[in-house]
Amino acid sequence: MSPFDLLADMVADGGVVVLSGAGLSTESGIPDYRGPSGRRRPSSPMTYQDFTGSAAARRRYWARSHLGWRHIERARPNPGHRAVARLQELGLVSAIITQNVDGLHQEAGAGDVIELHGSLYRVRCLSCGERTPRARLDARLSAANPGWAADATQVNPDGDASLDDSLIDGFAVVDCEGCGGLLKPDVIFFGENVPPPRVAECYTLSERAGLLLVLGSSLTVLSGYRFVRHAARHAVPVAIVNQGATRGDEHARLTLDAPLGDTLTNLVSRCPT
């Protein structure tokens, strides 16, 4: 039996919990960090400590993110996202945990998606806690920076775009309309913890799954890798579809190095409807 045939049989048994990473969104034009589209590409992600402790760091982040947001907002679900949504519709996928912040699972029609690292489509005030749509902030930043224009040479999965420092210095940042507090994208920065209730829910899902299916993640970051380890400890089979080796391969019953879109589309075609 081929690895794909084995994967199809495992998924057909149902109870699948999907754990997706940036590799699932590369076919939508969003590069990943460590897979084929991100390999050898330097990245210096913003840390929570830098963001909250430095006005200059916040200016740098919002200027780059204001530019990168246009790229994220234009991205559309690819066949991989649509296949996952279809497997959920067929009752084979019981839960989706995503490390991605691009909202593409939901746009493809998936429901009840746990956004492990949050979403770029929301902004949160660090003082009053109010959450507002990113589109509203985008309009405010555009109004505060009339005539500001730049071209991104690179956009990361978190919407951070590479930008010349000369274009950052004069960028105006806006604060919370309600209380004047600092605004932050509703995503988990490096140095910031995923809320414990969210982590606990993911642990519960991974230990009760019929199959933990990892899609497009190298599992280099502990926040996703821990659920693979947890599933393996509870004798839950793990299958990984990714382009390239992953940190979790030793825990997997099946690994498949293949493009996500074609593989998942073919997987849906094998499932009973």
What residues form the annotated binding site? 99-102, 125, 128, 176, 179, 216-218, 242-244, 260
Helix (H, G, I), strand (E, B) or coil at 133: strand
What residues form the annotated binding site for Zn(2+)? 125, 128, 176, 179
What residues form the annotated binding site for NAD(+)? 99-102, 216-218, 242-244, 260
Number of residues that this document lists for the chain = 273
**Listed residue (216, 209, 236, 259) closest to 15, CA to CA:** 209
Give yes or no for a contact between 19 and 228, defined as CB atoms under 8 angstroms apart: yes
How far apart CA 194 and CA 191 sit, in angstroms, is 10
Stated as kind and residue range, the H or E segment containing 241 is strand 238-241
For the stretch 67-85, what's the b/e string if a residue is b when 16 or more beta carbons lie within 10 angstroms of its beta carbon? bbbebbeebebbbbbbbbb
Told to judge if 117 belongs to the known catalytic residues of this protein, a careful annotator would answer yes
Looking at 66, 81, 117, 230, which residue is catalytic? 117
Q: Which residues are designated catalytic? A: 117
